[in-house]
Structure 1
Amino acid sequence: MRQHLFALVITCILALPSFTQAHTSDSSAPLVSVQLWSVKEALKEDFHGTLGALADMGFDGIEFAGDYGPYANNPSELKKVLDRLGLKASSAHVGFDALNDKNIANTLLYFKTLEVKTLYIPWDERAWDSKKVAQFTQQLTAAHHQARRFNMEIGFHNHEREFEPYRNKTFWQYIAANTPDSLPLQLDIGWVHYAKQDAIELIKAYPQRIRSAHLKVVAKDNALSPILGNNGFAWEKIITSLIKDGHTQWLVVEQEQYPQGLTPMESVAASKESLEPIIKTLAK
């Protein structure tokens, strides 16, 4: 019975049209989305109103992080909501529990309906465990290969610990070297800086694999403003490298910290506003 159901879901996935990302290499500046984890409490309080406010801020898309409002079992209706707001689903963060043998077909069908091409594993403690990182890369690769059958991808998103030393390099380098070149690496610029790594060097090291990047500031001990902008980050050079070297198609604004006096929604708006002049310059 389970095999029959799996085959039926696979048939449905294959029957859907083939989706491609909105931008390809060496085109104009990428589109800009927002990681919905940034405004998770607002989303819980008013799902539709929050999406509408993000659209009004000028975002091109949103990146899902587990909250689908009343549409957890109805991607078709959720797609209609996004279409009405002029938003695209740039990607989604999902855990391996959604990609096991029991769930992967339904997960891929759900996101294929939303026209999402790429899913990212956002966190896995095996990624910085010397005894388990090989197992992790094998599972990541296997899931990616399954997704590729449906013109989709499974990738990985970093935090800071992936840049800890491992075998004379780093865990991140090990993961990148032991996964296919087709597997996307979502670079989180905030955690890259926090780990004292060079973002541009990392982008250039993995050409065409940085299909999307999180633009964020990790502001520990109030040493930096968490708002994108005047915080010592060479955003224009970083974004230029993302476009040229990473072939990045989506810039994803993420806000995990909020200055005193600003709500999460106001913080996201402030970061988006500071990013706009850079995007406009690069789009010329």
Structure 2
Amino acid sequence: MKLASYKARLIMLMGAIVITATLGGCGQNESHKGIDDTQDIEPQVSVQLWSVKDEVKRDFEGTLTVLADMGFDGVEFAGDFGDYQQRPKELKAFLDGLGLKVSGAHLPFDKLDDAHFYETVAFYQAIGCDTLIVPYDARAFDSQQVKNVVADLNRLAAKLAPKGLKIGYHNHEKEFDQYQQSTYWDYIASNTDENVVLQQDVGWTTYAGKDPVEYVQRYPGRTLTTHYKVKLPDDVQGKLPLIGQDTIDWSSLIEANMTVGGTQWLVVEQEEYPNNLKPLEAVKLSKQGLETYLDARE
């Protein structure tokens, strides 16, 4: 009887240990999952290479190395790939070596026409780029043509989706001109598929007299990448076109991007270089300004 009782108690004890371990493991997994989910919504910081276009032309590898050393997580291409134009796999290896991802790329609609579609898609897939942004199209602020831009974006969104890529559009100030009781930008946003990325350039939005925070909130989940650039309105004095030395409410914008916009990438873009700064110097100052706001959230 004593031996049987001992065995019974041993079986019960082992069962309790298994249950406890299982419950503990589930708790750890749920906790880990929560951390991962939180990290997933934290956007990374990229740089639009148009900001340093002359440097990229002179020394592609050297310029990207400097940007990586500044601490950027990624780069957004603007059509210049140095000597890697025909060598996307080698370009991917080079970027991997620097610890840089591809946050996206700017390219015109004609790079995705029937004659170039598959070649273009193959190139960007090979370098790890999943977001293609049309940076400018004069039809987008033409009352007779804007519907064609919408049609092109919707058609390409459907055509790119099976390839694992997204299409998007990037605003300048003219997209905020009045159109049909709102703006061209609102018309494009309201009539394109929800998978079409609205890459807001907050500098041009501000220059047009609009609130970039409002436009993130107006179209939830659509600003997967956002250009963090300063374009000072003409009547502003005593400010500089550098992040943190301007007029934009960056804290509110970052909050909107993180909580409403679904933003994955904050893309620093520098098109003006005040006080005789070199482009790389201006980019570094704007990145440091952005980091101040990001650090304040922690």
TM-score of the aligned structures, taking structure 1 as reference length: 0.89
1:174 correspondence with 2:187: yes
Q: CA deviation at 1:115?
A: 1.1
Alpha-carbon distance between aligned partners in 1 of 2:168 and 2:38, rounded to the nearest angstrom: 18
RMSD: 1.5
Moved more, 191-200 or 33-42: 191-200
Q: Does 1:146 align with 2:159?
A: yes
Counterpart Cα distance in 2 of 1:26 and 1:144:
27
1:96 matches 2:86: no
Alignment of 1:243-282 (within 5 A): 243-282=258-297
Give the AA of the match of 1:225.
L
SS at match of 1:91: strand
Q: Does 1:187 align with 2:200?
A: yes
Rg (Cα) greater in structure = 2
- 2:150, 2:192 within 8 Å by CA — same for their partners in 1? yes
Gaps of 5+ in 1: 1-22
Judged with a 3 Å threshold, the aligned counterparts in structure 2 of structure 1 residues 183 and 124 are, in CA distance, closer, same or farther, namely same
- Answer yes or no: is 1:219 the counterpart of 2:225: no
Q: Using the TM superposition, give the Cα deviation of residue 281 of structure 1 relative to its aligned residue in structure 2, in angstroms.
A: 2.7
Of 89, 92, 106, 1:76 maps to: 89
Structure with greater proportional helix content: 2
The residue that corresponds to 1:39 in the other structure is 52
Instruction: Deviation per CA, 1:139-182: give whole Å up to 9, x if none.
Output: 11111111111111111011110010111111011111111011
Q: 2:245 aligns with which of 226, 230, 233?
A: 230
The answer to whether structure 1 residue 49 and structure 2 residue 62 are counterparts is: yes
Residue 126 (structure 2) pairs with residue 110 (structure 1): no
Contact kept in structure 2, 1:24 and 1:247, CA below 8 Å: no
Give the number of equivalent residue pairs: 261
Distance 1:250 1:127, change over 3 A: same
Deviation at 1:261?
A: 2.2
SS in 2 for 1:260: helix
Give, in whole Å, the separation in 1 of the partners of 2:37 and 2:167.
18
Unaligned 5+ runs, structure 2:
1-35
SS of equivalent residue, structure 1 residue 269? helix
- Contact 2:160/2:166, CA 8 A, preserved across alignment: yes
Q: Which amino acid aligns with 1:201?
A: E
Whether the 8 Å contact between 1:153 and 1:183 is mirrored in structure 2 is yes
The structure 2 residue matched to 1:197, chosen from 186, 202, 210, is 210
Secondary structure of the corresponding residue to residue 175 of structure 1? helix
Find the partner of 2:221 among 203, 208, 212: 208
Shift of 1:247: 1.1
Higher relative contact order (CA 8 A, sep 6+): 1
Cα distance change, pair 24–89 in 1 and its aligned pair in 2 (3 A)? farther
1:155 match = 168
Letter in 2 for 1:200: V
Partner of 1:55, secondary structure, is helix
Q: Which deviates more, 215-224 or 86-95?
A: 215-224
Code of the aligned partner of 1:268: V
Percent of matched pairs sharing the same residue: 44
Deviations 1:17-42 (A, max 9, x none): xxxxxx97884531000000000001
CA displacement, residues 233-277 of structure 1 (integer Å, 9 cap, x when unaligned): 110110110110001000000000001221000000010111112
* Deviation larger for 223-232 or 133-142: 223-232
Preserved CA contact (<8 Å) 1:59 1:87: yes
- Cα distance, 1:120–1:24 mapped onto 2, change above 3 Å: farther
1:116-150 Cα offsets, whole Å, 9 max, x none, are: 11100000000000000111110111111111111
